[in-house]
Amino acid sequence: MNALVTGGAGFIGSNIVKQLLEDGHTVTVLDNLLSGFERNISGLDCTFVKGDITKDEDVAKAFSANKIDTVFHLAASVGNKRSIDFPISDSMINVIGTLNVLEHARKNGVKKLVASSSAGIYGELKTLPIKEDHPIEPESPYATSKLGMEKHCLAYGKLYDMEVVCLRYFNVYGPNQRFDAYGNVIPKFVFMLLDGDDINIYGDGNQTRDFINVKDVVQANIKAATTLGATGAYNCASGTQISINDLVAEIDKQGSLKGKVNYVGERLGDVKDSLADVSSAQKAFGFVPEVGLREGLKEYIQWAKQEHLISK
């Protein structure tokens, strides 16, 4: 496989790059390093192109670096809060940037494209566990742009000789996931607690999430890419749920971290509960999540402690 990983210096992308190389594939990375980190892929035997998916010349350069036959499209503007703050740039990256990647994939005869979508497209859940045929009611610019991204990818799969799989990520966590102002809940809590800072829980903390370890996300991406005939949109999750209150308790148990918990008002755009049905992905390309939350948190906290020292 000659693979292009857009956003390959980011959290999920860098983990995919590492596994692809370990499996003996040729890898090109396209990343503008705005949210990715070059050290995530430092020392890896891949071709790195610093560039932006919204710029035609950058995408063209990435495709010309090697004869690309498979694309893992992860480059994106991520998160509800960021999209509410910057809705135009969110859609420029997630929709227009994706179209740029799709056009170059088409022109270069790419046979398989695996795109990173989001469970945010479902909106507030009406049934649990959630299946892929659940009503689509995005409640933020981010969720809306990811839905647009997904629809464009699937349309290209139907129009051209390209197998396309869209993976609807639920809450992904694991090594190389850092915390910023728009970060997801696990890195946010872990890094703040490592600093001894208090953490804020929105609402009463009884809201639930389906957390999936990045190793399982990597597995889903590679199986989707290498399974002949696999196409369509699929949930990518653990198929389990935990409340935010119980998550904090587990983080404390695993890490003996400092800081206290404060409860604040509910946050605009957040859903109350989340739980996925992943049986469709299992049937389509053999995806079975393997990493339990306790095991995954232990590994992540160990990584975060080391990263915390580096960043100081």
Catalytic residues: 142
Task: Output the DSSP codes for 87-148.
Answer: HHHHHIIIIIHHHHHHHHHHHTT--EEEEEEEGGGG-S-SSSSB-TTS-----SHHHHHHHH
Identify whether the C-beta of residue 118 lies closer than 8 Å to the C-beta of residue 74. Answer: no
Q: Write out 227-270 in H/E/C secondary structure.
A: CCCCCEEEEECCCCCEEHHHHHHHHHHHHCCCCCEEEECCCCCC
Other Cβ atoms within 10 Å of 96 Cβ, number? 15
Pairwise CA distance, residues 43 & 5, whole Å: 17
Alpha-carbon distance of 220 to 225, in angstroms, equals: 9
First to last CA, the chain: 39
CB atoms near residue 158 (< 10 Å): 9
Any idea how long the chain is? 312
CB 128 within 8 A of CB 275: yes
Please give the structure tokens belonging to residue 233. Answer: 């949109």
Angle at Cα 253 formed by Cα 191 and Cα 207, nearest 5°? 75
The Cα 19–Cα 46 span in angstroms is 12
Burial pattern 39-55, b for ≥16 Cβ within 10 A else e, equals ebbeebebebbebbbbe
